[in-house]
Structures are given as structure tokens and as C-alpha cells.
Amino acid sequence: MKKILKNIAAQLHLWLGISSGLVVFIVALTGSLLVFEEELEPVINKHFNIVAVGEGKQRLSLDSLATSVKQQFPKNKLDRITIEAQEDRTFVFGLKQDKKKQGLLSVAVNPFTGKIIEARQEHDSFFEVVLRLHRYLCMEETGKFITGISCICFLVIMITGLILWWPNRKNQKQRFQVKWGASPKRLNWDLHAVFGFYVMPFIFLIALTGLVWSYKWINNLIYLAFDGKPQQKREAPANIASGDFLTHYEHILQASAKILPHQGKVTFTTLNADSLSITVSKADDEAAISNIVSFLYFDQNTGALLSKRLYDNETAGFKARRVVFPIHTGSLLGWPTKIIAFIVSLITASLPMTGIFIWLGKNRKRKKKAGDIKIKRTSVAATEEKESATRV
């Protein structure tokens, strides 16, 4: 029975690995880059993100900055504003584009001078491309289907890999350490099996949480488990006051800082929806874990606060769903978990390659063995023919 189970596990491990290996490699490699997106983005695109902060320099009002952007891009409607917590960061204004162009036009503005530093197509930015590769191979719904199936295959691969790895009394030591001085074939097997075992608990959790973005029913399952009902659709409430829209962005920013005094990135959204209030979300960088966000809603016409959605008052399902992202990306507890996620992602990207080498090595061995048997049979047949001729 044990032998049959191992044979089934071996076949599943092999063929699922071959069919999903390339996708796993791409997703794991791009995932390792995305772990440090927040840290690398200002380094890779320093001109877009960083400004010089002079002593005693005062920031301009958010209203004047928004007006400057509108004057420079009169045909584009303002969709969102992103304000990082660090003082030396640009304010980024997201502008709507025509239907021919995907994504937003991101405009970086120096908050101290009002100068527009750079405008870029957000859809074509480095980390946006990496994210699209990671989530759906840059192939929209088709790619999303492929990555979702490959993720499920990878979960099965890990379970079957554990069955194949499981040690007995004779090879117990071999299963837990890499023999660095061994032959290339043995070293490759150790890198695949031993490293695969050590990263499995982490990568299993990362892959499992990744299914939330592939399948809506898994996302709803989180809410059902914690709230007893599916995720409820939420949107900004409607404006109460009527009249022509006047900019109240600075007033809203200051009011948000008073209600949510902690450090964190601030994002203005629903700016392009005339009938809906402005949504202000603010992350809490001082919280014990990441991705803690509260929401405030302000009337577009008066800047008055309409309602709050503070994180502390959210449902258990919402909180559980919010923690999925930092678990998946490794940002849950900051640098320690990010480093673990980075190393785990790189090792995971190596597993399809070492697995292919194991498979190719076994194929060569089978062919060699089959060739040896054929030669042996030919030799035996020739000997028998010779003996037969001698008897005659």
C-alpha cells in the first residue's frame, strides 16, 4: 500500500511539475521582486519619487498642487492623489486617460515648489509590469486562469513532494541536509528535496493565500468563515450638499490627520465620481502588523466629513481579509518576514529547474539501461545462433 501511494505521488509530482513548472518559476521570481517593492521603487525611480527637502521649507497646499496639475493636463480628470508618509516624497496625482490607454497617467509633483517632475504611464511602470506578470502573466483573464490552476497544481506538488521526501531509518540524515561535496547529480537532488522541505511551510501559505486573487469564492469563504456572510459591496456614500465642486483637498487632508494622527500613506480616491463623496484611506505604519487601513468620507462640494470606517470597528471578516495580503507578500511583520519571503521565493523559483534536471537524469538512466539490455539480448542471441550453427 505504501509503495502504491508513493508511485501515485511520484506520477502526480512529475506531471504536475512539468505542466506548471514554467508558471511557478515566473510567479516565484516576480514575487521575490514584489516583496521589496516599497523599498525598491524610490531607488529605481528616484527622480519620480524623491525631492530635496530644504530646512524651513514649507509645503504648498494640496489645492494649489491639484490646480497646477489640472492646468498642465486640462483634458484629464483627476482620479486619485497619493501622499507618502515620508517628507521627501513627491505627491502623485493619478489622471484618467482615454479608453485607448490602459491605467492612469501618474504625475509626480514636488510639494514644496509645485513643479511637475515627471508624468508616466502607470500601466508601463516597472513594478506594474512585474505585478501583471505575477498575477496573470500579462494575459488578462486567460493568464489569471493559468496562474490559478498552476497555483492549485503547486499545492498538490508540495503535498506529493512531502510524501516522496518522507525519510526512513536509513536515509534520515540525508533528507535534512545538503551534501555540498557530492556529485552534481546528488547535489541537484539535495537542492530540490532538502531546500524544498525547508521552504514548504512558508511557500504553502504564500500559494494558498494567492488563491484569494484567482478565485472570488475563496475570497468570499474568508468572510463566510468570520462574518457568517459573503463580502458586502461597499462604496463611498453620496454627496449631501449640491452645487459646483470646489477644491477642499487641503482641508480634507488636515481633517484626516486630526482624526487619524498616526503615520502612514494617504490616498484620495473617487475624485472622478461627481455623485460620490471623496474617499480618504490612511495606512497605519505604527500598527503591529502591516496593511492596517482606515477610511474617511468627505463631501466633494463642502469638504465636510460624512462618515468613518475605522479599522478598529471593522468586522472580523474584513480584518482577516486585510491580513491575507501581508502574509502573501511577507510584509506582515516588516523586514524579518520580508527577508524570509524573499529567500523562500528565490528557492521556490529554483525548484522547477532542479526538478527538470532530476527528471532528465532519470530519463538518461532509463535509456542507458534499455540500451544495455538491448545490447545484452543481441549478444545472447548471437551466441545462441553461433552455438546452433556449430551443432549443425
241: left (phi over 0), alpha (psi -120 to 50) or beta: beta
Give the model's pLDDT for residue 389.
53
116-125 confidence digits (pLDDT tens) = 999 999 999 9
Which H/E stretch holds residue 80? strand 78-83
Residue bearing the bigger pLDDT, 389 or 307: 307
43-56 confidence digits (pLDDT tens) = 999 999 999 987 66
Given a contact cutoff of 8 angstroms between Cβ atoms, the answer to whether 146 and 137 are in contact is yes
Closest by CA to 239, choosing from 197, 271, 281, 196, is 271
Angle at alpha carbon of residue 162, lines to 336 and 177, rounded to 5°: 65
Q: Return the DSSP state at 311.
A: G
For residue 281, list its beta bridge partners. Answer: 267, 295
Arithmetic mean of pLDDT over the chain: 91
- The letter for the amino acid at 2 is K
Which H/E stretch holds residue 109? strand 105-109
Does the structure show a pLDDT above 90 at 2? no
Could you tell me what percent of the chain has a pLDDT over 70?
91
Given a contact cutoff of 8 angstroms between Cβ atoms, the answer to whether 31 and 327 are in contact is no
144-189 confidence digits (pLDDT tens) = 999 999 999 999 999 999 999 998 878 888 889 999 999 999 999 9
283-303 confidence digits (pLDDT tens) = 999 999 999 999 999 999 899
Indicate the pTM of the whole model: 0.89
341-366 confidence digits (pLDDT tens) = 999 999 999 999 999 999 998 877 66
Give the model's pLDDT for residue 303.
92
Buried b (16+ CB within 10 A) or exposed e, 99-129: eeeeebbbbbbbbbebebbebbebeebebbe
Give the model's pLDDT for residue 381.
52
Q: Would you call 283 helix, strand, or coil by DSSP?
A: strand
219-261 confidence digits (pLDDT tens) = 999 999 999 998 888 889 999 887 655 679 999 999 999 999 9
Average pLDDT of span 327-340: 96
